[in-house]
């Protein structure tokens, strides 16, 4: 084997790490706001449902992490960002399926039922697959990789709950309790 020679050594102070976390939080906030604005413009009232569910999702993730006494790190923020993306994807799948069903049946009530029903399997498959990958990272990873895996695992469960249960609750509360339902804001 060839000998290893150290040519340069540097120490990174805690303030650099703190700055990185602060910049990561700022990026997370800006990205989240942009996604919420897109959802509101493109999906109208359904976008409001998605926005509230997404905010609830992030609060749920941070609450669970706080209950475990976890520190938010850059890998943890990456897990939250990925989770936000998956939650948005789930809502987009649901909303697009509802739109397809409205075009097919012209019955908003049936479109909501069918849209959620048809999107469920796809959402479940995508999230379970990602959860398996996160559990593999948790099992075989070290340090920051485990932090990412924990945050991602919590986030996957939270995003499935918010997309399937919370968003559905808003649709049921606003639309399905009406006796005469003629159209949807989606």
Angle between helices 74-105 and 14-67 (to 10 degrees): 50
Q: What is the pLDDT of residue 8?
A: 77
Kindly give the residue spans of alpha helices, DSSP state H, lying in 1-73.
14-67
pLDDT at 14 over 60: no
Please tell me whether residue 133 adopts helix, strand or coil conformation: helix
Q: How many other C-beta atoms can be found within 10 angstroms of the C-beta atom of residue 110? A: 14
pLDDT level of residue 29 (50, 70, 90 thresholds): confident
Residue scoring higher pLDDT (64 or 144):
64
pLDDT level of residue 17 (50, 70, 90 thresholds): low
Distance CA 127, CA 149 (A): 13
pLDDT digits (tens, 9 = 90+) for 130-149: 999 999 999 999 888 999 99
Per-residue CA distances from 58 to 7, 27, 84, 88, 111 (Å): 44, 15, 8, 12, 28
Stated pTM of the model: 0.83
Distance CA 106, CA 160 (A): 28
For the domain spanning 26-177, the CATH number is 1.20.1640.10
């Amino acid at each position: 084997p060839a000998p290893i020679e150290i040519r340069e050594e540097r120490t990174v102070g805690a303030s650099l790490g703190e700055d990185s976390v602060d910049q990561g939080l700022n990026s997370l906030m800006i990205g989240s706001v942009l996604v919420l604005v897109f959802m509101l413009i493109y999906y109208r009232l359904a976008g409001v449902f998605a926005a509230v569910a997404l905010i609830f999702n992030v609060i749920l993730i941070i609450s669970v992490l706080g209950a475990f006494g976890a520190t938010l790190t850059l890998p943890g923020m990456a897990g939250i960002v990925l989770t936000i993306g998956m939650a948005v994807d789930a809502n987009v799948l649901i909303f697009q399926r509802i739109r397809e069903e409205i075009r097919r049946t012209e019955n908003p009530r049936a479109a909501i039922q069918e849209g959620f029903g048809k999107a469920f399997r796809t959402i479940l498959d995508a999230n379970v697959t990602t959860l398996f990958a996160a559990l593999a990272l948790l099992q075989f990873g070290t340090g920051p990789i485990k932090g990412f895996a924990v945050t991602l695992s919590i986030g996957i469960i939270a995003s499935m709950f918010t997309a399937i249960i919370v968003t559905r609750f808003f649709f049921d509360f606003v639309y399905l309790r009406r006796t005469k339902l003629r159209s949807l804001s989606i």
